[in-house]
Structures are given as C-alpha cells and as structure tokens.
Amino acid sequence: MTEWRPKRVGILFSGGPAPAANAVIQAAVSSFRRAGTEVVGFMNGYSSLASYDASKGLTEGKDYMVFEDRDLYGLRNARGIVIGTARANPGKKIKAVADLDDPEKTAPLRAVHDALVSLGVEALISIGGDDTLKTANFFYEFEARLPAGTPRVKIVHIPKTIDNDYRGIDFTFGFFTAVDVMAQELLNLRADAMATRGYFIVETMGRKAGWIAYGVAVAGEAHMVVAVEDVRGALATTEEIVDEATGEKRTHTRLSLDALADRIVELVIAREERGKEYGTVVLAEGLAEMLPQSYLDGVARDEHGHVSLGKIDIGKLLARVASDRYAAKTGRTKKMTGVQLGYESRCSEPHAFDVMLGCQLGVGAFRALAEEGKDGHMVSVAGQLDLRYVEFKELIDPKTLVTEVRFIGEGSDFQRLARELETRLPRQ
C-alpha cells in the first residue's frame, strides 16, 4: 500500500444519468477533502475538456466547479447529477491501436490532458458506461506514449450503467432503482390491461443486454420477456450488410420481426384458452438495433455511433404487427399498445442499496488513488461491497480497444428464473 496525496483531483460524469450518481460523487469528494485534497468537478462530461483552447482556458462556474463542503450537504440521496453529464467523446477518431500514435486523431485527448494540467489536476475520476471506460483507457494509453518528463494525470474509472451489462462488477449502481421504477410502471399497465382486456408491449432500456428487461419482467409480473440474448432459433435471421469503413459485405444476425410478432400472438391465444384476456410483454430496447437494416437507415446516431433507439419505438412497432397478425389468424381484434419506459427511471430517487453501492465506489476511487496509487484501473466491488480494482487491460480487447459487454448467459439461473415465471406456451 502506498500513500499519495494529490493536491487536486478532477471528477466527471459521462453518458446517461443513473440513480445514485450523486452518492458516488459525494463519497469521492468527501473522502478527498478530508485528506486535504481539492476536488474539481468538470461540468457536462468531457465537453469542455475535449474542446480546450489554451488561449481561452477554462472558466470556473461554467466549465468546472471547485467543491466546497456546502456542495455536499444532502447530496448523497439527491436526484440528478450535480456536475451534469454529456456524451462528448474525445476518443471518437480512435478505431485501432495505431491511431493512438496519430497526432490528429489523438488531438482531443491531448486537449483533455492539457486542460487538466492547466488546472493542476493530478488525477481524474471518470464515471460512466462502457464507452466512457473505453475513453478512460484511450487517455491512459495516450499518456503512456507521452515523452518522458511530461506531466501525467492518473485515471481511475467508476462503472455506471442502469443496464448492468458491465464486466468486472456484479451490479452497477442505479440498476436496482431503475428496475423498481419501471417494474412499478409495468404493474400499473398490467392493471390497465386487466381492466380493458388488452395487451401492453413495453420497451425498457437495455441497449446491448437484457438485464433490465429481465429484472422488470420478474419484478413487474410480465407474461413474456424478450431481450437481445433471446434472438436465436426461430427469432433469428441473417442479413448481409456492407461495412462502410471497408466496403466488405458481412453477415449479421437480425431479429425476425414476424417471428417475434407470431410469438406474441401465440402468447395471447394461449392465455385466452386459459380464460385470461390480458397481458404484458417486456422487450429490451436493444432488439431495435437488431432489426433489418431497412428499419435503421436514416436513424440518428450519437457521439459513440449508437443508433437512437428511442426513435424506432420497437414496442409500438411490435404492437402494430402483432395485432395485425392476431386478426389475420383469429378473425378477431385485440387491443395492443406499445409503451416506452426508461427515461423516468434515470434520475429517480435512489434506493438504499444503490446509495450504499455508489458510496463504496466513490470511496473506492479515493482509496485506489490515495492509498493504492492506482492508474488505469476500474473501481469495483464484490461480495459484501468489498472493494477491488480491475486493470483496464482486463476489460478491453487489446486489438480492437473495445470494451466487452456482459450478457445474460444462455441457460443461466437468472435467465431460467425469467423463463420459469413467464407464461408457458404450448410448445414449451
């Protein structure tokens, strides 16, 4: 164990909000301030840092804030993010390891480095999802290539995503709060469906994996749940797509919209045969990104290249297709309504577990830097909130520099739990 007391530490939050974000920030800032270290909070993620201009500098109150004790009062359970967030991506131009040696492609990373050094920041805590982890690793690797004698800024990362699809940690802060908020909404829709003899096709967050969809389905008593991990067998199809970068054709697994609609129709009929004329179906939003390319053409993308899934509204799309196929098969009509859930959960009041988890991660960032002298590590917990530190290289593919997503394992106990609690179809 080493003792290192930086004079100034920076902290930023990047990507979508998550419940307990302020608990992380409060615990980290409080720990450093008690040790005599000043903490600078950068406003709106990497926005100001990546566009830093030495001739203009950064403005306190606009680009950053210096934390005082009064800023921490009651912050631990407060909604939102005290320093704001954004999706600015200083590593946007880096696609391969060789790009880290390209001055033009690393210019935004240099701007971040120069901005931090200009303010006397000796270490940076980044809080964010897998793309923010990728950016943190880019920064770490960029600094490793700087000439000897150049000031270095240590960096540690705190994993954040309500999607809970992070490798290296069991649960991410905000996940359980988000699941509960959406599950309560789903229970309201379930009561509505019972009263109106209809169906709600509910889209939840979960771009890459189905953790939220499964959690909401279990806690919200859904009758069916489908996530990206379930796109196999009859639900899967293939499509050849031209890679824009190389011009090569590649075969991609796609979601069969008709097959999923048919499965929903099968659910409706099976429940009708049991005297139940209502139901709820939960879909992970990531299914939209697996639709055939014709559905994705022209849809806006963010700084990290992700499709704006909210624009596709797969819940409404499936509701429309499934109701048409139900009518064609039975000669009857069935009310099916698509609903999107998610945004209302991201800044909701955090639950106690997420507050405790967030606080431990915040304290963990302090201990990683001040006690362990870590650099290029992610803060994690296991067991009874026991701290551990994971090197970036264990979480990122060394060839592609891409973070690896944690999916729900096929046949895992968690997946079996969801399957056991949903309506059993005749073919099962």
Q: Note down pLDDT in tens along the chain; length 428 residues.
A: 566 788 999 999 999 999 999 999 999 999 999 999 999 999 999 999 999 999 999 999 999 999 999 999 999 999 999 999 999 999 999 999 999 999 999 999 999 999 999 999 999 999 999 899 999 999 999 999 999 999 999 999 999 999 999 999 999 999 999 999 999 999 999 999 999 999 999 999 888 899 999 999 999 999 999 999 999 999 999 887 766 666 677 888 899 999 999 999 999 999 999 999 999 999 999 998 888 877 766 545 555 455 555 567 899 999 999 999 999 999 999 999 999 998 899 999 999 999 999 999 999 999 999 999 999 999 999 999 999 999 999 999 888 888 888 999 999 999 999 999 999 888 65
Among candidates 139, 115, 114, 109, which has minimal Cα distance to 126? 139
Token reading at 64: 């950053």
Which residues on adjacent β-strands are paired with residue 379?
389
Q: Is-contact 295 312, C-beta < 8 A?
A: yes
The sign one gets for the Cα dihedral 168, 169, 173, 176 is positive
Say whether both 162 and 234 belong to one domain. no
User: How many Cα neighbours within 13 Å face the side chain of 259?
Assistant: 15
Residue 427 lies in a domain: no
Say whether both 148 and 212 belong to one domain. no
Residue 426 lies in a domain: no
Exposure string for 181-210, b = 16+ CB within 10 A, e = fewer: bbbebbeebbeebeeeebbbbbbbbbbbbb
How many distinct structural domains can be found in the chain? 2
Say whether both 210 and 286 belong to one domain. yes
CA distances (Å), 275 to each of 1, 136, 263, in order?
65, 55, 19
Say whether both 360 and 242 belong to one domain. no
Say whether both 106 and 254 belong to one domain. no
Say whether both 217 and 314 belong to one domain. yes
Token reading at 284: 């992970």
By residue range, what is the domain housing residue 15?
8-171+350-394
Tell me how far apart the alpha carbons of residues 267 and 107 are, in angstroms, rounded to a whole number: 54
All residues at 6 or more sequence positions from 240 whose CB lies less than 8 Å from its CB, including other chains = 249, 250, 251, 252
Say whether both 84 and 28 belong to one domain. yes
> Between vectors from CA 338 to CA 334 and to CA 341, what angle results, nearest 5°?
145
Question: For position 268, which CATH number holds?
Answer: 3.40.50.460
Tell me how far apart the alpha carbons of residues 422 and 162 are, in angstroms, rounded to a whole number: 23
Say whether both 242 and 149 belong to one domain. no
Catalytic residue among 63, 130, 163, 165: 163
Say whether both 160 and 28 belong to one domain. yes
Residue 358 lies in a domain: yes
Say what the pLDDT of residue 208 is. Answer: 87
Token reading at 305: 């290249």
For residue 20, what is the DSSP state? Answer: T
Among candidates 89, 106, 88, 85, which has minimal Cα distance to 42? 85
Question: For position 26, which CATH number holds?
Answer: 3.40.50.450
All residues at 6 or more sequence positions from 208 whose CB lies less than 8 Å from its CB, including other chains = 163, 165, 228, 286, 405, 407
Residue 378 lies in a domain: yes
Residue 271 lies in a domain: yes
Long-range pairs for 245-249: beta carbons < 8 A, 24 or more residues apart: 245/95
Token reading at 391: 């090197």
Q: Count the neighbouring beta carbons within 10 Å of the beta carbon of residue 123.
A: 27
Residue 26 lies in a domain: yes
Residue 43 lies in a domain: yes
Tell me how far apart the alpha carbons of residues 369 and 389 are, in angstroms, rounded to a whole number: 11
Residue 297 lies in a domain: yes
Among candidates 7, 127, 98, 118, which has minimal Cα distance to 56? 118
Tell me how far apart the alpha carbons of residues 167 and 326 are, in angstroms, rounded to a whole number: 40
All residues at 6 or more sequence positions from 143 whose CB lies less than 8 Å from its CB, including other chains = 113, 152, 153, 155
Say whether both 355 and 321 belong to one domain. no
Q: Note if 163 is an active site residue.
A: yes
Q: Is-contact 211 284, C-beta < 8 A?
A: no
Which DSSP helix (H) or strand (E) runs through 364? helix 352-366
Token reading at 15: 């990507």
Q: Is-contact 178 212, C-beta < 8 A?
A: yes
Say whether both 331 and 364 belong to one domain. no
Token reading at 92: 């946007």
Tell me how far apart the alpha carbons of residues 288 and 214 are, in angstroms, rounded to a whole number: 16
Tell me how far apart the alpha carbons of residues 371 and 299 are, in angstroms, rounded to a whole number: 47
Say whether both 158 and 187 belong to one domain. no
